[in-house]
Amino acid sequence: MVFEFKFPDVGEGIHEGEIVKWLVKVGDKVKADQNIAEIETDKAIVEIPCPKTGIIHKIFHKEGEIIKVGDVLVEVDDGSAPKKPVAQKKESPKKKPKDEHYTGSVIGFLEEASDDEPKKKVTRSQKEARKRVRATPKVRRLAKVLKVDINLISGTGPGGRIIEKDIHKSADPGEKVVKEHGKVKRVPFKGLRKTVADKMLKADKSTVPVTNFYDCDVTSLWDLRESEKEKATKKGVKLTFLPYIIKATVSALKKNPMLNSSLDEGTILIKQYYNIGFAVDTEDGLIVPVIKDCDKKNMYKIAKELSDFSVKARDRKLTIEQMKGGSFSISNLGSIGVKYFTPIINYPECAILGVGRIEDKPRVVDDKVVIRKILPLSVSYDHRLIDGATASRFMVDLMALLVEPKKIK
């Protein structure tokens, strides 16, 4: 019996996805729970398993197509009923090519479609339009470059002839750029990039963001990390500054719980858990994996998850579960040279920490000018929930731990 397998609801409010790759073809035998396709949602690339054993009878969509939840992916024959023989279509004899014929005008020959090209249905109005098209070869070439159907526009030249101005007027603005300024590369605005854009727009419309900026002396943290780095390497862990910042952030959130909250239809939800998201830059856009229960994990465990999740994010191998449930986020642009910036709140969270590049700067210590390691920090917060003073107290508590990192627990 042939049954239809539809694109299932993979959760997290996902309604559609793009087929990245088919892992099977028509005629392939598949087992129950065998992955048959990779589909990119707005969260991740997920592998879709077939629910039954059988033979792929038909594939309904091509790679690159957008499908919605409930759309049929494939038909699978489970072998429970004999298949009906498929009648072979008889090939119709090819028509003999027609000779070009003169149109009786000064604009040249009419081009006729090849018999090998797919024929499109032509409306009566289109047929009438094609009979009266008058344009020079130069204008026809321009229409082709700007992707204008010359048969469907009216000419404003002598005798109704189509002129260049008519083509430009009918051309898509994006195509005009090609002619007027130079070549452009068209990239579809879809997938992760569009999802990030939509989320940023929603955050901008749904919050009242304010950003504060700080300088933090992390000279002691620098030294501590240097002393711990070799020990961590022996354990197979890459120890960066971010695990220390995450642990310090959790301690500061416990003292200032409003920054670990969100607004839900008139109710403030103050989270009693500490799931920290961190932004990862990928070729497709930003992805935010979430490290769960950071208050219960040691520095090495957090460092290991940071490394593993970063690799998975760039390979688009994160699961939905690994990207949801965050209560607070951190964006680190220091590794690419950024100092201060205004991180956008990861809605529906109400605050986000921005981490810049550590630099050597002169500071006065015990009446002497010395060189210290200075870390630029930014905190953006939703002013509907968090006042400036509350955000400042959070940052004071956070920086106190970064200044004396041995107190970080």
Q: Which domain holds residue 257?
A: 208-407
pLDDT-based confidence at 183, cuts 50/70/90? confident
Do 167 and 235 belong together in one domain? no
| Dist CA 240 CA 222 (whole Å) | 10
Which amino acid is residue 149, in one-letter code? D
Per-residue model confidence as pLDDT tens digits over 324-375: 999 999 999 998 999 999 999 999 999 999 999 999 999 999 999 999 999 9
Per-residue model confidence as pLDDT tens digits over 40-96: 876 678 889 999 899 999 999 998 888 889 999 999 998 876 555 555 555 555 544
Out of 47, 77, 107, pick the residue that ends a domain.
Answer: 77
Distances (CA, A) of 355 to 222, 286, 405: 15, 16, 16
Mean pLDDT of 233-257: 96
pLDDT-based confidence at 173, cuts 50/70/90? low
Distances (CA, A) of 14 to 41, 43, 77: 7, 8, 28
Do 223 and 168 belong together in one domain? no
Residue 164 located in a structural domain: yes
Do 162 and 232 belong together in one domain? no
- At residue 179, the pLDDT reads 53
pLDDT-based confidence at 134, cuts 50/70/90? confident
- From first CA to last CA, the distance across the chain in angstroms is 61
Do 238 and 375 belong together in one domain? yes
Do 266 and 317 belong together in one domain? yes
- At residue 234, the pLDDT reads 92
Do 226 and 161 belong together in one domain? no
Number of domains in the chain: 3
Token pair 């729970």 is at which residue?
Answer: 33
Which amino acid is residue 371, in one-letter code? I
Percentage of the chain modeled with pLDDT above 70: 83
Q: Which two tokens stand for residue 314?
A: 């760039």
In three-state secondary structure terms, 51 is: coil
- At residue 9, the pLDDT reads 82
Mean pLDDT of 3-7: 92
Distances (CA, A) of 241 to 223, 232, 248, 303: 11, 13, 11, 9
Residue 36 located in a structural domain: yes
Percentage of the chain modeled with pLDDT above 90: 56
- At residue 268, the pLDDT reads 97
Q: Reply yes or no on whether 181 is catalytic.
A: no
Per-residue model confidence as pLDDT tens digits over 345-359: 999 999 999 999 999
pLDDT at 112 over 50: no
Residue 166 located in a structural domain: yes
- At residue 81, the pLDDT reads 62
Do 165 and 223 belong together in one domain? no
Do 300 and 161 belong together in one domain? no
Out of 32, 60, 77, pick the residue that ends a domain.
Answer: 77
Do 291 and 382 belong together in one domain? yes
Residue 198 located in a structural domain: no
Which CATH number covers residue 214? 3.30.559.10
| Dist CA 335 CA 146 (whole Å) | 43
Residue 102 located in a structural domain: no
- At residue 186, the pLDDT reads 73
Residue 60 located in a structural domain: yes
pTM: 0.66
Residue 157 located in a structural domain: yes
pLDDT at 36 over 90: yes
156-170, 176-190, 234-248: the lowest-pLDDT one:
176-190
What's the chain's average pLDDT?
A: 85
Do 363 and 323 belong together in one domain? yes
| Dist CA 33 CA 158 (whole Å) | 68
The number of angstroms, rounded, from the C-alpha of 277 to the middle of its chain's C-alpha atoms is 16
Active-site residue, selected from the candidate residues 101, 168, 181, 383: 383
Per-residue model confidence as pLDDT tens digits over 268-309: 999 999 999 999 998 878 899 999 999 999 999 999 999 999
Residue 254 located in a structural domain: yes
Which CATH number covers residue 54? 2.40.50.100
Dihedral sign (CA 326, 286, 351, 14): negative
Per-residue model confidence as pLDDT tens digits over 198-227: 888 999 899 999 999 999 999 999 999 999
- At residue 311, the pLDDT reads 94
Do 214 and 343 belong together in one domain? yes
Which CATH number covers residue 163? 4.10.320.10
If one compares 391 and 149, the residue with the highest pLDDT of the two is 391
Do 271 and 352 belong together in one domain? yes
In three-state secondary structure terms, 201 is: helix
Per-residue model confidence as pLDDT tens digits over 37-56: 998 876 678 889 999 899 99
213-234: burial string, b at 16+ Cβ within 10 Å, e else: ebbbbbbebbebbeebeeebee
